[in-house]
Chains A and B, each alone.
Chain A
Amino acid sequence: DVKVTQSSRYLVKRTGEKVFLECVQDMDHENMFWYRQDPGLGLRLIYFSYDVKMKEKGDIPEGYSVSREKKERFSLILESASTNQTSMYLCASSRDVQETQYFGPGTRLLVL
């Protein structure tokens, strides 16, 4: 079974802090994704990566950056957290960019 893990289930940070969200997958998938999920807005793609050290902007990349130094790990970075980044963050991976995505359990981030 594919397993996607995220470093934290719940996180509380202060405005202006630098925040790292980590995601690890164990199925040697090429593609990894970061989404945020807000009530009434569904899932919105922040960034995705199709290979090590490669990244592509999604629909809402502003205020975020990503890092993929190893195939199994994809990090989402909030350089200076703001209250409007309070959200549920979901990581996913897939073998092919169009095929089934496997999701982690999510990180609920609260920025105060």
Chain B
Amino acid sequence: SQQGEEDPQALSIQEGENATMNCSYKTSINNLQWYRQNSGRGLVHLILIRSNEREKHSGRLRVTLDTSKKSSSLLITASRAADTASYFCATDAGNTPLVFGKGTRLSVIA
């Protein structure tokens, strides 16, 4: 399958620092999405970037997409303790459901 793989698996940073997470996938996609999951809860959609877009911003989030390298990155600027969560990328390649990666666990230390 074209499952996205996040890197790193876990990341620990100090409050105020930037956090960068990466996602690589295997086949061509229509769009790539990033989701966040607080411990023990459901996933919440953060941002969707289409295959013809290279960069997208939403508040403190910046997502890039490089289709030639089949990779995406999620940057969280000026991180806060409340950003502590797991972050997942999800890809689609046609009329099939999204395929989620295994996630990056982000810890932001106050």
Contact = CB atoms under 8 A, between A and B. Distances in A.
A100 B40 CA distance: 20
B33 A45 contact: no
Interface band, chain A = 20 to 34
B43 A103 contact: yes
Given A40-B102, A58-B97, A101 B45 contact: yes
A98 to B, nearest CB: 4
A105 B38 CA distance: 10
A76 to B, nearest CB: 15
A98 B43 contact: no
Contacts of A41: 102
B78 to A, nearest CB: 25
A45 to B, nearest CB: 6
Contacts of B33: 100
Contacts of A33: 97
Contact of A108 (B40, B96, B97, B103): B40
Interface residues of B, number: 26
A40 B10 CA distance: 12
A97 interface: yes
A90 interface: yes
B102 A42 contact: yes
Contact of A98 (B1, B45, B95): B95
Nearest to B102: A42
B82 interface: no
B41 A98 contact: no
Contacts of B90: 101
Q: Which 7 A-B pairs have CB atoms at the shortest separation, nearest pair first?
A: A103-B42, A42-B102, A98-B92, A43-B100, A103-B43, A100-B45, A105-B42
